[in-house]
Amino acid sequence: TVLEALIPKMDAIIVGGGMANTFLLAQGAPIGNSLAEPDFVNTAIQITAVAEKSGCEIVLPVDLVVADEFAAGAANETIPVGQNPGERMILDVGAASVADLTDRLGKLETLLWNGPLGAFEIDPFGDGTFAVAKAAAELTKQGKLITVAGGGDTVAALNQAGVSDDFSYISTAGGAFLEWLEGKELPGVAALMKTDED
């Protein structure tokens, strides 16, 4: 997986969005009616164990924005991880998670971003993603952080946050970006490298 390929290269991997729900489920945390992949719980446990052995921290949200429905302006509440959301869905990270991630950004040299932290397409569930994106963009403008982002949802979220021009590099390659992260050979890049060698 992409995460397994990144673990030896990273000091920390921040997991958000639907993937975070699977990791929370793997830790035994209640996730209500949230998007998750129960079939990958064992994989999440395995990835966490490999990361611990490699000295790579898996960073999960500390609080969650939950709502009864995925709809614009839906009534929502922020709860700490571990509190049962009942029948509600986790749709974003909360303010404490944003503060934690923003603090972590200030200690990084490079940020590689793939995937939003919440369901950013519907207001107000993009607040977490947008706040962290703006913090990363500000650090980039100050020359304190190199920011690389890729994947269609990520690029859309950064555009919606109004910060895509402030990131160091944005890949619109989507799946190819993920394959590159995994260390797979990309035919187009391989052909260019071969041409360069000739």
User: Domain residues for 91?
Assistant: 2-184
Q: Is 110 helix (H, G, I), strand (E, B) or coil?
A: strand
Spatial distance between the Cα atoms of 185 and 71, rounded to a whole number of angstroms: 40
H helical segments located in 109-151: 127-141
Q: Given this model, what pLDDT does residue 3 score?
A: 86
- The CATH number of the domain holding residue 121 is 3.40.50.1260
Query: Per-residue pLDDT tens for 82-129?
Result: 999 999 999 999 999 999 999 999 999 999 999 999 999 999 999 999
In a domain, 33, yes or no: yes
Query: Per-residue pLDDT tens for 16-35?
Result: 999 999 999 999 999 999 99
Spatial distance between the Cα atoms of 27 and 171, rounded to a whole number of angstroms: 32
Instruction: Calculate mean pLDDT across residues 173-194.
Output: 80
Query: Per-residue pLDDT tens for 45-93?
Result: 999 999 999 999 999 999 999 999 999 999 999 999 999 999 999 999 9
In a domain, 30, yes or no: yes
In a domain, 7, yes or no: yes
Total number of domains in the chain: 1
In a domain, 11, yes or no: yes
Q: Given this model, what pLDDT does residue 196 score?
A: 64
Q: Given this model, what pLDDT does residue 23 score?
A: 97
Question: For residue 1, is pLDDT > 90?
Answer: no
Instruction: Calculate mean pLDDT across residues 128-133.
Output: 98
Query: Per-residue pLDDT tens for 149-178?
Result: 998 899 999 999 999 999 999 988 877 887
Question: For residue 198, is pLDDT > 90?
Answer: no
Please name every residue paired with 169 in a beta bridge, in sequence order, or none if there are none. 148
Alpha-carbon distance values, 78 to 5, 85, 108, 132, 166 (Å): 33, 10, 27, 17, 29
Using DSSP bridges, classify how beta strands 110-113 and 146-150 pair: parallel, antiparallel or unpaired: parallel
More confident site: 193 or 142: 142
In a domain, 13, yes or no: yes
